[in-house]
Each structure stands twice: as C-alpha cells, then as structure tokens.
Amino acid sequence: MPSYTAPAKDAQFILHDVLKVSAQDIPGYPELEPDFTGAVLEEAGKIASEVLHPLNVVGDQEGCRLENGVVYTPKGFKDAFEQVKEGGWPGIDMPEEFGGQNMPYVIGTAVGEFFSAANQAFTMYQGLTHGAASAILAHGTDEQKATYLPNMVSCQWTGTMNLTEPHCGTDLGLMRTKAEPQDDGSFRISGQKIFISSGDHDMAENIVHLVLAKIPGGPEGIKGVSLFIVPKFLVNEDGSLGERNGVSVGKIEEKMGIHGNSTCVMNYDGAVGWLLGEEHKGMRAMFTMMNEARVGVGMQGLAQADAAYQNALEYAKDRLQGRDVTGAKNPDGPADPLIVHPDIRRSLMDQKSFAEGARAFLLWGATLIDQAHRAGDKDADGLISLMTPVIKGFLTDQGYDMTVQAQQVYGGHGYIEEWGMSQYTRDARIAMIYEGANGVQALDLVGRKLGQHGGKYVLAFFDMVKSFCQENKDVSDDFTKDFIKPLQAASKDLQAAGMFFMQSGMKDPNQALAGSYDFMHLFGHVCLGLMWARMGKAAQEALDAGAGDAAFYETKLATGRYYMARRLPATKLHLARIESGAETVMALDADAF
C-alpha cells in the first residue's frame, strides 16, 4: 500500500525563497508570510495524507456504480468530502462574499497539488466545481451568482463541464446538443454529452452542469455555441431545491484509471437551462473554466509523479537486491538497497528533479494568474496564457513518464495492483488527454499563442531568461557553469525553434505544426531550466547567508545540477526534430500508410 507525505517544505521553499511571495505587490500577497502559508500547507498536508490518501486505493478498486439512475461513490468518499467541506478547502481562493477565504490562487494551487497527489479521482469532484464556479463568477448575472455560488464555493453543490459528444471532442463546432428558447427566458436542452467527470454522485445535494449547446437558428459551427447552467435539481426562488431536471446518467464509463471519479454519459431530455454569458459566445465563457482547468491538469501531472516518486524512493531504500559495484554499502545484510545502483539513482533523480522543477513552474504560473486577476496585469495575463498549454502538455506528459519510471523501480511488484504503483500510472494517463489532448495543447501553443501580439509574450519570456542570466553572471564560476550556461544554451534552442517557425511557417503552416509537439516540450524544458536556475540561486543565497538546514539547500543544488546536466539537453533533440521540417512528417498520402 503506497504512502503519501505532502511536500510542504518544498512548497514553502518555492513560495518564499524563490518566488518571495510576501514581498510581491499583488493584492493578498503581503499576507502570505511563511508562518501563515506554513500553517495552511501543514493542515492541507494532513487532510491529504490522513483523509484523502487512504481512500485512493479504495476508489480505484471499488469504482463508482450506477444503480437505478443514482451514482454511488466508493466507500468513505462521502465522509471525506464532508471533512474537506468543513475545512473550507473548496473555497480557499474564492471570494469572501460567496463564502470563500479569498486567498490567492497560488495557495489554492499548492493545496491542490497535495490533494490531487493523495487522491486524484476524489479531488476532481471539487476541482470541477471550482472551474464551474469560476465561470459563473466571470460570466454570470448577479442573480446567477447569488443562486449558485455560495453553495458551489462550499461544495454543498458540485459542478461539471459538458463539452464532448460522441462524435466531437476537440472540434466542438460539430456539436448537436440543442437549446430551445422558452418564453420565460429559459431554454430546453436536449442532447447527449460524454466523458462528464463527476457527472453524478451521492456527495452533494445538487449538481450544477455547465452545458455547451446550440440555439437553433444561430451561426454555424463553433460560433453558434452557447453555454448554459443546467442544475440537476431546479432551484426555487427561495433557494430551496425544487423538482428534478430532465438530465440523467446514461452510464458510467469503464476507464483505465481514476475509477473513483464518476465519468458519466449525460442525457439531456428537454432539461431546463439558463444562458450563462452571451448567446453564441459560449466558447469564450467555457474558456474561463478551461484555462483554469488546464493549469489544474498540469498540476495533476506533477502530483501523480511526486506521489509515485515518494513511494519509489522508499522502495529503493528498503528493497535489498544486488551489491554496489564499488563496494558493499550494507555489508552485514544479505544485499544492498536498490538505491546504491546507478541506474536506480538515475531514475530517482529524473523523478525528483522533475517534481521539484515542475512544482516551481506551476507555482510561478499561479503567481502570474494572481498578478493578472488580482492586479489586472495584462502582461502577466499574456504570459500565463502563453504558458498554459506548456504547463498542461509538458507537465502531464513528463509526469506520466515519471509514474512509469516509479513503477519500474518496483520491478515485478510494480505491475501487481496490490502494490499501488500501477494506479499512479493509470490515473496519470488521463491528464495527457482531458481538457484538450496534449497534441491540441501543442497546436494552441504554436498555432495561436506564440504569435499573439506579434510574439510579445514569448519575447518577454526570453527577456526574463536573459535578465536572470545577466543578473546572476557573477554568483560563482560553478553557478555559471552548472546553471547559467546550460540555461542559455537551452533558451537559444528555443529561440532557434521560434525563428524556424517564423521563417518556414509563414510559407507553410505545416512546417510549424509538424514541430508543435516538440516545441511544447522544448519550451517546457526551458521553463524548468529557468526554475532550476532560480531555485539554485535561492539555495546558494541561503547557504551563503548561513541559513539553517544547509543539507536541504545542498540537496536542492545537487538536484538542480542533475536537471541541467541530464534533462535540459533534451532541448537539442527537440530543436533538431523541429528543424528537420514538415517534409518527412507529411510525405505520405493518407492511403499510403
């Protein structure tokens, strides 16, 4: 049975030593003193380890079941959900006027990682609710906000996102679900939606479905899609629950993982709905949820990787097998622990350096979101908009690979469900797919985000790297060699890739799109390289200042050196693939395959 300990100390290091959050001029940030965030993270870590984690395997093994139209979650989920609600965790970064705690998004993100790592399937019930509430917050009328938000912020009611239909996922313009306008201003929604996470369950009094549908007579394709609020139970004027709406569960899907989350086929049979935002502008409103959800999915990639890594590390320390070739490390025992073997080290260092780098990247991204939303900073908004597909695509691909590596450390036991490592892999797999498959993220990045405002935001990113390197060129010769030089080289690869797209993509967009997936990974590595350089510098400063816990900072530097030496050179391969162009990719006719 796996275990999980929330990496609160590492999150504190990133928040305070690296990002220096309480010194930042963003509303709410000055209150983020180390003692305060430390207390929040400690408490969140406890819930994660003690309440959510023990249900992770239970959820996987038991799954959800549909009986007479009612979905039942695995044993223990309901009680745990009550505890999470009581602690006020779902509304941690929601406005106080709706019952939230109004903390910055960065804190919600740090907590979210712990919860997701402890139990991804469980945490999705609250995560989807958060996304739906954000969309209502951004696009709802005052009445809609008053009706739904207090109950959603507390998770008395949960939320869902309904986009996909059997014949369309990415290409939502093909959607068939209809919304017929009624005389009272409401709509009647009819159609089938699939892959609806947390679509129905027994843990909330009501479920607020946000549903994309087409109003007949509207524009063709994606420009005729509107967003609707469709509650499971209609809400009376006094706020009490009224009659059951015309929405029902067709079935629960059998999935590779996240069995504890009810992924439903939802049937809408003339269900009553209310327009959220403007007619035919549903995609815009949905993207409020989607961008948040994409960052949240990137977080899941990191979370599963870290949880799996923690267990692989323990196993590598405990399991005795073989001898250190340079001399026995456990001479009195029958064999040495796995961790003495260089290739096991390599794997553990891959995992460790990814998880810590990804955490920094994610929390940095969260500060950009706060800067954009709380301080109205348009540049931060542009930068995080550029980064969102990188956070989603890179962190989930790499996070998945790391769960596979963690499973591998267990040898044969990694393949046996009893040991729990297969679940990390199976659960992590979905994050590469949902909220826009990673190929779509790459397309969004290269086809849309990169060129926005004449490439303003990617240029800002390059400036950021350049400034960092310039400002820290005199830290030490070692720092320059271990961190600055590799970061500069990687950043140069990223610039060369961008240049290739500019020059070749103008004439033929396929030249850019054929390299989009590599570009997403190239970009991700440079981001983690920048994060490791910033963490390395913070660790070096702490050591120079004689801070306590020197061992922590030394380990941080060593882990960073590993990333820079062993992981970051991947940028060269991605660049080579990009620069090889589209010819070999597009050479075959479809029939020639």
- CB closer to its own copies, 275 vs 582: 582
Pairing mode, if any, of strands 178-181 and 187-196? antiparallel
Q: Does 430 bind its own copies (CB under 8 A)?
A: yes
| Size of interface with its own copies, in residues (CB under 8 A) | 94
The residue within the footprint of its own copies, chosen from 209, 426, 521, 525 (CB under 8 A), is 426
In the stretch 369-398, what mask flags binding to its own copies with x, by CB under 8 A?
Answer: ------------------------------
Interface positions, 192-211, toward its own copies (CB under 8 A): 194-195
Burial bucket for residue 285 (CB in 10 Å: 0-12, 13-18, 19+): buried
Q: Does 566 bind its own copies (CB under 8 A)?
A: yes
Q: Does 27 bind its own copies (CB under 8 A)?
A: no
* Catalytic-role residue among 435, 471, 554, 583: 435
In the stretch 161-190, what mask flags binding to its own copies with x, by CB under 8 A?
Answer: ---x--xxxxx-xx----------------
CA atoms within 13 A on the CB side of 111: 27
What residues have CB less than 8 Å from 168, skipping those under 6 apart? 174, 175
What is the C-alpha to C-alpha distance for residues 210 and 564, in angstroms, rounded to an integer?
43
Report CA-CA distances (Å) from 249 to 118, 135, 175, 364.
28, 23, 19, 39
What is the C-alpha to C-alpha distance for residues 303 and 308, in angstroms, rounded to an integer?
9
Interface positions, 471-510, toward its own copies (CB under 8 A): 508-510
Among the listed ranges 63-71, 270-278, 368-376, 437-445, the one in contact with its own copies (CB under 8 A) is 437-445
3-state secondary structure (DSSP) of residue 7: coil
Closest contact distance (angstroms) between CB of 527 and its own copies is: 18
What is the C-alpha to C-alpha distance for residues 486 and 417, in angstroms, rounded to an integer?
40
What is the C-alpha to C-alpha distance for residues 520 and 435, in angstroms, rounded to an integer?
16
The residue within the footprint of its own copies, chosen from 345, 455, 467, 477 (CB under 8 A), is 345
Among the listed ranges 74-82, 113-121, 313-321, 463-471, the one in contact with its own copies (CB under 8 A) is 313-321
Closest contact distance (angstroms) between CB of 235 and its own copies is: 30
Residue type for 489, please?
Answer: A
- CB closer to its own copies, 278 vs 318: 318
The residue within the footprint of its own copies, chosen from 415, 459, 471, 499 (CB under 8 A), is 415
Q: Does 433 bind its own copies (CB under 8 A)?
A: yes
The residue within the footprint of its own copies, chosen from 437, 460, 475, 496 (CB under 8 A), is 437
The residue within the footprint of its own copies, chosen from 1, 23, 416, 502 (CB under 8 A), is 416
435 labelled catalytic: yes
The residue within the footprint of its own copies, chosen from 1, 320, 499, 506 (CB under 8 A), is 320
Q: Of 11, 247, 267, nearest to 114 (Cα)?
A: 11
- What is the four-CA torsion angle of 47, 53, 54, 58, rounded to 10 degrees? 130
Interface positions, 219-278, toward its own copies (CB under 8 A): 253-257
Closest contact distance (angstroms) between CB of 29 and its own copies is: 32
Run of H or E residues at 573? helix 570-579
What is the C-alpha to C-alpha distance for residues 589 and 593, in angstroms, rounded to an integer?
7
In the stretch 442-461, what mask flags binding to its own copies with x, by CB under 8 A?
Answer: xx---x--------------
CB atoms near residue 57 (< 10 Å): 19
Q: Are 260 and 98 in contact (CB under 8 A)?
A: no
Beta bridge partners of 157: 206
The residue within the footprint of its own copies, chosen from 187, 517, 532, 553 (CB under 8 A), is 517
- CB closer to its own copies, 193 vs 373: 193
Residue type for 182, please?
Answer: Q
The residue within the footprint of its own copies, chosen from 348, 366, 368, 406 (CB under 8 A), is 348
Beta bridge partners of 66: 71
In the stretch 543-562, what mask flags binding to its own copies with x, by CB under 8 A?
Answer: --------x--xx--xx-xx
Catalytically annotated residues? 435
